[in-house]
Amino acid sequence: MAPLSEHTVESLESRLVAEGFRASHAARVLRAFYTAGGDVDWTALRLPRALAERLAASGPAGPAVAGPAGSTGPTLAARQVASDGTTKLLLRLADGRAVETVMMPDDRGDRVAGCVSSQVGCAMGCDFCATTRTGFERNLTAGEIVEQFLALRREARAVGRRVQTLVFMGMGEPMLNLEPVLAAVRRIAANELGGLGWRQVTVSTVGIVPGIDALAASGLNVHLAVSLHAPDDATRARLLPMGRRFGVEEILAAADRYQAATGRPVTVQYCLLQGVNDSPAQARQLARLLAGRRMHVNLLRYNPTGLSLRGVEYAPASAAVTDGFLAELRDRGVVAHVRRPRGREIEAACGQLRRRAEAAPLQS
Ligand code: SF4
């Protein structure tokens, strides 16, 4: 049996029938699986003993503990916890590759935000990102994305919290693996399974225009975040090689279409890099671009990752420059905030933990 995280209710019904069990068990099995964060004591459920034994023998136990023999679910390869509670998990997949998943506690004591990966490695080559240095390895399956959510659910539960929001902002470009991303979101958001709700899910992109349009056409109504990072094509192309393929205006036009189709304001992500994209003139240019648009700007503090692919050592904009950039935007009517940095001391920028773990295996 494929890992339960790869199943929809319908596909599990077919599988159970093929193995001689009643289809009607499928919904209960999956509900228990999601509710328990993937770590279910099947024998404690009211299931036919043969089915409980079948599930216990071959179902994935989930990443928090090593799976039983035959399990194909991911296992936890490393965990880092920062003083602010931000927790980074490195999950080892069945083929030996690894992905990162991050849990960020909310100021409200009972909640966390989760960040999941959509690919192993990434082909986008963003110059300031640690993920880019290992290149693209493969797409994640819907189940491997679901497993990250379940791992977050268990981590949150262990500290007395629950997963309130989920962002696709980890390793990889979600729009280049859209079908599995959409399939995972459908399960995570389904009332009878993950129960997170469409509004609690955000899909982020570096600006893959066809992907933005496809996400709008999917009807899922999740939030969209666009990583712009520069108000002009030349600066953007230096930072994000994909910037050469889709121009700033083209990306914002796609974001406009997304907003019109879903009614959801799009978030513009902008990582402030000292001396690169943080000048008052660039803030004013960004404000001009967003004039008349109901978008919200998230200013991010850069988490240094060492020398970039192009040999640049990027540094975060200073607090004073960040405040000045924010003021330039707000003075021009742009809704903008500075996102509080999380887990600075634990290599919370995507790709860092994996890169270090590949160099020297970590203890969990
Ligand atoms: S920032 Fe995101 S899209 Fe860019 S290389 Fe890193 S993981 Fe890929």
Q: Ligand 1: which of 117, 126, 251 to mutate, judged by most atoms within 8 Å of the beta carbon? A: 126
Whether residue 129 lies in the annotated active site: no
pLDDT grade for 64, boundaries at 50, 70 and 90: very low
Evaluate if residue 69 carries a pLDDT over 50.
no
Query: Could you tell me which residues come within 8 angstroms of residue 93 by beta carbon, excluding any fewer than 6 positions away?
Result: 74, 99, 120, 140, 144
| CA pair distance 210, 207, nearest whole angstrom | 9
Among 285, 279, 359, which residue's Cα sits nearest to residue 320? 279
Q: Ligand 1, residue 240: give the atom nearest the CA.
A: 4
**What's the confidence (pLDDT) of residue 177?**
98
Beta bridge partners of 338: 299
Percent of the chain with pLDDT over 70: 89
Which of 15-24, 68-77, 118-127, 336-345 has the lowest average pLDDT? 68-77
Query: Could you tell me which residues come within 8 angstroms of residue 159 by beta carbon, excluding any fewer than 6 positions away?
Result: 85, 105, 112
**pLDDT tens track for 39-48:** 888 988 889 9
One of 122, 126, 271, 350 is an active-site residue; which one?
350
Pocket of ligand 1, beta carbon within 6 A: 122, 124-126, 129, 131-132, 171-173, 206, 350
Q: What is the separation, in whole angstroms, between the first and last Cα of the chain?
A: 29
**pLDDT tens track for 200-230:** 999 999 999 999 999 999 999 999 999 999 9
**pLDDT tens track for 304-357:** 888 888 889 999 999 999 999 999 999 999 999 998 777 666 555 555 666 655
The two beta strands, 87-92 and 98-105, are antiparallel
Give me the chain's average pLDDT, please.
Answer: 89
Q: Are 303 and 348 in contact (CB under 8 A)?
A: yes
pLDDT grade for 71, boundaries at 50, 70 and 90: very low
Tell me the C-alpha to C-alpha distance, in Å, between residue 154 and each of 38, 84, 88, 114, 334: 8, 18, 13, 12, 38
Percent of the chain with pLDDT over 90: 71
Mean pLDDT of 290-303: 94
**What's the confidence (pLDDT) of residue 68?**
34
Tokens 């056409």, residue located: 217
Q: Ligand 1, residue 173: give the atom nearest the CA.
A: 3
Whether residue 313 lies in the annotated active site: no
Mean pLDDT of 252-277: 97
Spell out the SS3 assignment of the chain.
CCCHHHCCHHHHHHHHHHCCCCCCHHHHHHHHHHHCCCCCCHHHCCCCHHHHHHHHHHCCCCCCCCCCCCCCCCEEEEEEECCCCCEEEEEECCCCCEEEEEEEECCCCCEEEEECCCEEECCCCCCCCCHHHHCEEEECCHHHHHHHHHHHHHHHHHCCCEEEEEEECCCCCHHHHHHHHHHHHHHHHCCCCCCCCHHHEEEEECCCHHHHHHHHHCCCCCEEEEECCCCCHHHHHHHCHHHHCCCHHHHHHHHHHHHHHHCCCCEEEEEEECCCCCCHHHHHHHHHHHCCCCCEEEEEECCCCCCCCCCCCCCECCHHHHHHHHHHHHHCCCEEEEECCCCHHHCCCCCHHHHHHHHCCCCC
Between 308 and 65, name the one with better pLDDT: 308
Evaluate if residue 75 carries a pLDDT over 70.
yes
Q: Ligand 1, residue 119: give the atom nearest the CA.
A: 7
Q: Ligand 1: which of 131, 239, 269 to mutate, judged by most atoms within 8 Å of the beta carbon? A: 131
Residue 45 CA, ligand 1 centroid: distance in Å: 42
**What's the confidence (pLDDT) of residue 243?**
72
**What's the confidence (pLDDT) of residue 355?**
61
**What's the confidence (pLDDT) of residue 364?**
30
**What's the confidence (pLDDT) of residue 362?**
35
Which of 13-17, 69-73, 263-267 has the lowest average pLDDT? 69-73
Mean pLDDT of 132-142: 90
CA torsion 347→348→354→356, rounded to 10°? 0
Q: How many CA atoms lie within 13 A of 70 on its CB side?
A: 8
One of 100, 144, 328, 347 is an active-site residue; which one?
100
Tell me the C-alpha to C-alpha distance, in Å, between residue 162 and each of 100, 147, 166: 19, 16, 11
**What's the confidence (pLDDT) of residue 350?**
59
Task: Report which residue type is found at 75.
Answer: T
**What's the confidence (pLDDT) of residue 316?**
95
**What's the confidence (pLDDT) of residue 173?**
96
Mean pLDDT of 265-291: 97
